[in-house]
């Protein structure tokens, strides 16, 4: 499993799932596709979402989704 050893606890896991599902909903995409973009086509999950959990989880859903979608655009990855 890709996330083994990356995510420390249930709170981080819940946050990662929240991010994936929220982005999928915003983009009208399948959550599995979003997961692949964040893990296989980029390092956004491992390099940004999980390390920045402490800051990101205090923000609004809209902010989090827009922030990650902007990062996806900067890295040139699409769902």
Residue pLDDT, tens place only, 17-52: 999 999 999 999 999 999 999 999 999 999 999 999
User: Residue range 44-62: average pLDDT?
Assistant: 96
Residue 51 belongs to a domain = yes
Residue 53 belongs to a domain = yes
Q: Note if the pTM is more than 0.75.
A: yes
Residue 16 belongs to a domain = yes
Residue 45 belongs to a domain = yes
DSSP 50-65: TTTHHHHTTS-HHHHH
Please name the residues in contact with 73: beta carbons below 8 A apart, sequence gap of 6 or more. none
Q: Residue 59: which domain range?
A: 10-75
Which pair of tokens denotes residue 40?
């296989």
Residue 2 belongs to a domain = no
Which pair of tokens denotes residue 54?
């402490």
Query: How many independent structural domains does the chain possess?
Result: 1
Alpha helices in the chain (DSSP H): 10-27, 31-39, 44, 53-56, 61-75
Residue 5 belongs to a domain = no
CB-CB neighbours of 42 under 10 Å? 18
């Amino acid at each position: 499993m890709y996330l083994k050893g990356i995510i420390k606890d249930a709170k981080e896991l819940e946050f990662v799932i929240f991010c994936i599902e929220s982005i999928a909903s915003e983009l009208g995409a399948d959550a599995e596709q979003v997961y692949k973009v964040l893990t296989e086509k980029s390092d956004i999950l491992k390099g940004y979402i999980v390390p920045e959990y402490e800051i990101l989880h205090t923000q609004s859903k809209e902010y989090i989704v827009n922030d990650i979608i902007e990062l996806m655009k900067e890295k040139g990855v699409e769902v």
